[in-house]
A and B are shown apart, each in its own frame.
Chain A
């Protein structure tokens, strides 16, 4: 006899299969960014843009840029749905004590947008990535 529990189990199994199917291939956004190679190129352009901005470059005075670069690539990969592992601290923990204000955050967003444009990433892809990054504002600023 089929009970409610059976139905529930079947539903969960179906959901699990669906999720597995989704997870088994890298997301569209990750691929649109050019995969890990594209993300690495975007990251490099972004870092060059940051380094040339006198308003914010002082925030990176104590930063090991090579490690920062690697974590950033991992993070963008994970956020965009790529099969990577992010080995860094949470966005909140990573920015404790840095006193990043809105002007800093705005400037960084501008540099990321420019890096994406320099890399010829289409506007829809750029906006899809920004949609995932913008909410990090609250974890990154003012603490």
Chain B
């Protein structure tokens, strides 16, 4: 199903006034990486940047695979995205969350869209501002239901502002990002949405900063605020320190050390994050 939607999107794009071959005019690293939720960004925070290196009147496609291994859990995310005109992005992502210590697994599918509203990452004093939606649906509602989640699907909405400051620190360019997200998700949706007693949206703040040590290597930090609403176990905010290597405009690698805090009663979940991304 996901693949069919992507192929359909590709055909639609190719059918409009765009060239058949993807193009790559954007400056290297300005596409960012891809988050575990499929949107262009850091590792866990979506940015206002649009995935891929397509500029105006161009299109781009990406595919990514990410592995996060913390003490008692393993998250895998695979996804693909399509972007048009450096304006619009659609992404499809499948997450699998193995409960290594407890046994069993959780999972969710995420369909994301992002639209650039204003500003240009590199060129305007106004930050680049984008709005995004993420439709999420869990694979199996049994466990989320058992721990008190209300729904097996949810819709996150976010507003992201990103800006590059040239020559900011030691002559290096600094990428800054602020994202405000409205969400009902428990553990980003892996444990369902809302609770049996509360179905309100929560406004959360997410930030990323990254310094481009070279043109294609970035060192950064991310913080993702999360709701803490299920009574069975505490949910913590997430953070990570990452190093991204944009080998060229077609291949990038991100390694990170992530601190995911308490998950389902398992405290201090820390570990490694590794992501590979290919871009057309």
- Which of B27, B55, B166 touches A131 (beta carbons < 8 Å)? B166
B124 proximity list for chain A (CB < 8 A): 135, 137-138
Contact A113–B166 (Cβ < 8 Å):
no
**B25 is contacted by which of A103, A128, A134, A138 (Cβ under 8 Å)?**
A103
A-B contacts, 25 listed (Cβ < 8 Å): A55-B23, A102-B86, A102-B120, A103-B55, A103-B57, A104-B25, A106-B26, A106-B27, A106-B55, A107-B25, A107-B55, A109-B27, A110-B28, A123-B171, A123-B172, A123-B214, A123-B215, A127-B167, A127-B173, A128-B166, A130-B166, A130-B167, A131-B167, A134-B123, A135-B123
In the assembly, what is the distance between CA of A83 and CA of B60, in Å?
43
A135 to B126: give the CA distance in the assembly, Å: 11
Cα–Cα, bound, A130→B215 (Å): 12
Q: A106-B27, A110-B25 given as contacts; is B56 within 8 A of A101 (CB)?
A: yes
Complex formed: what's the CA distance from A33 to B181 in Å? 44
Judge whether A105 and B167 touch: CB under 8 Å. no
CA distance A31 to B156 in the complex (A): 51
**B residues touching A (Cβ–Cβ < 8 Å)?**
23, 25-28, 55-58, 86, 120, 122-125, 166-167, 170-173, 214-215
**A56-B25 Cα distance, complex, nearest whole Å:** 11
Interchain nearest-CB distance for A55 vs B (Å): 7
* Chain A count of residues within 8 A CB distance of the other chain: 24
Q: Which residues of A contact B (CB under 8 A)?
A: 55, 101-107, 109-110, 113, 117, 122-125, 127-128, 130-131, 134-135, 137-138
B25 surroundings in chain A (CB, below 8 A): 55, 103-104, 106-107, 110
When distances are taken between beta carbons in the complex, the residues of chain B under 8 Å from A117 are 215
Q: Which residues of chain A have C-beta atoms less than 8 A from B123's C-beta?
A: 105, 134-135, 137-138
User: Distance in Å from the Cβ of A141 to the closest Cβ of chain B?
Assistant: 8
Q: Which of the residues A103, A113, A134 comes within 8 Å of B58, measured between beta carbons?
A: A103
Q: Which residue of B lies closest to A103 (CB)?
A: B55
Name the one of A105, A113, A124, A134 contacting B215, with C-beta atoms under 8 angstroms.
Answer: A113
